[in-house]
Amino acid sequence: MSKLGFIGLGIMGAPMAGHLIAAGHDVSLATRSDIPTALTDAGGKACKSAREVAEASDIIFLMVPDTPHVEDVLFGENGVAEGLAEGKTVVDMSSISPIATKDFAGKINDLGCDYIDAPVSGGEVGAKNAALTIMCGGSEEAFARVKPLFELMGKNINLVGANGDGQTCKVANQIIVALNIEAVSEALVFASKAGADPAKVREALMGGFASSKILEVHGERMVKRTFDPGFRIELHQKDLNLALSNARQMGISLPNTATAQELFNACSANGGAEWDHSAMVKALEIMANHEVA
């Protein structure tokens, strides 16, 4: 049994921490709001601060929304850094800036501790089913140490490279996901506006070369109008901002990523920042004056 910490117990973090507790590990918990009683009832230990979690744990997991949140949890008052001792490991499973990640890792390394960036893909369903894809950046030694714990939360687990490379991989993932959502949205709006049953069109496409996980899961959401997150549009906007800002720094163009971001922006302007990202289809529906149904 390992002494673990988990900070950030939202839609994704709560089930991920639950898998660690269910496996019999001693897990200390902290989050911005109330700690879910299901986790403490299962044996998790509620802590008052990130520092307290770090003091009680050998490996500390983070799952928070954005780069500033990670920085605050790590280096703010009563943060993780204040509770670390040499030999501990920090694992950030949030999706944040690759550049900032390298800086954070260096500061944690200077304290004699290992750092792994390990963002995930798979959404709420993947978190609940322990079926996440986990993209890691860090040393081979640290990755080998933590991998058995990753296997309690995910199925496709890869060490991509050094610190920051896991986050770079996640940004690439979010580009692909956004563009697939846009493609499925366009196809279903087109089919529905043309008079075809979008549910039957989706079913037919699932058997062909156009088949994808996005068509399977998010296409169904579009047809059934089930836009509760999931993965919120505002979080995907954050990820695409990372893609576009890093692209500018590298001098490359991501034209279709920019288009996907504009569609998310349109949803947000219409009150949809907290809709599931499959609701990108609503921006296209507004332009078509037609709802997929």
Which pLDDT score, from 0 to 100, does residue 137 have? 98
Task: List all residues 6 or more positions away from 258 whose beta carbon is below 8 Å from its beta carbon.
Answer: 244
* Backbone phi and psi for residue 110, each to the nearest 5 degrees, phi listed first: -65, -20
pLDDT tens track, the chain, 293 positions: 689 999 999 999 999 999 999 999 999 999 998 999 999 999 999 999 999 999 999 999 999 999 999 999 999 999 999 999 999 999 999 999 999 999 999 999 999 999 999 999 988 889 999 999 999 999 999 999 999 999 999 999 999 999 999 999 999 999 999 999 999 999 999 999 999 999 999 999 999 999 999 999 999 999 999 999 888 999 999 999 999 999 998 999 999 999 999 999 999 999 999 999 999 999 999 999 999 98
Catalytic one among 3, 102, 155, 170? Answer: 170
How far, rounded to the nearest angstrom, does the alpha carbon of residue 231 sit from its chain's CA centroid?
8
| pTM score | 0.89
Write the Ramachandran bin of 283: left for phi over 0, alpha for psi from -120 to 50, otherwise beta. Answer: alpha
Encoded amino acid at 293, one letter: A
* Backbone phi and psi for residue 251, each to the nearest 5 degrees, phi listed first: 75, 35
Q: What is the dihedral of CA 233, 236, 238, 244, to 10 degrees?
A: -130
Q: Which of 25, 104, 18 has its CA nearest to residue 58?
A: 25
Helix pair angle (281-288, 255-269), 10° resolution: 80
Which pLDDT score, from 0 to 100, does residue 198 have? 98
Task: Please answer whether residues 278 and 230 qualify as being in contact, where contact means their C-beta atoms are separated by less than 8 angstroms.
Answer: yes
In our burial notation (b when 16+ CB lie closer than 10 A, e otherwise), range 174-195 reads bbebbbbbbbbbebbbbbbbee
Round to whole Å and give the CA distance between 277 and 29.
28
- Cα separations (Å) of 104 from 20, 147, 155, 176? 25, 21, 27, 26
Which pLDDT score, from 0 to 100, does residue 230 have? 82
Which pLDDT score, from 0 to 100, does residue 293 have? 82
DSSP 120: E
Q: Identify whether 88 is a catalytic site residue.
A: no
Task: List all residues 6 or more positions away from 191 whose beta carbon is below 8 Å from its beta carbon.
Answer: 198, 201
Question: What is the residue-wise DSSP string for 42-84?
Answer: TTPEE-SSHHHHHHH-SEEEE--SSHHHHHHHHHSTT-HHHH-
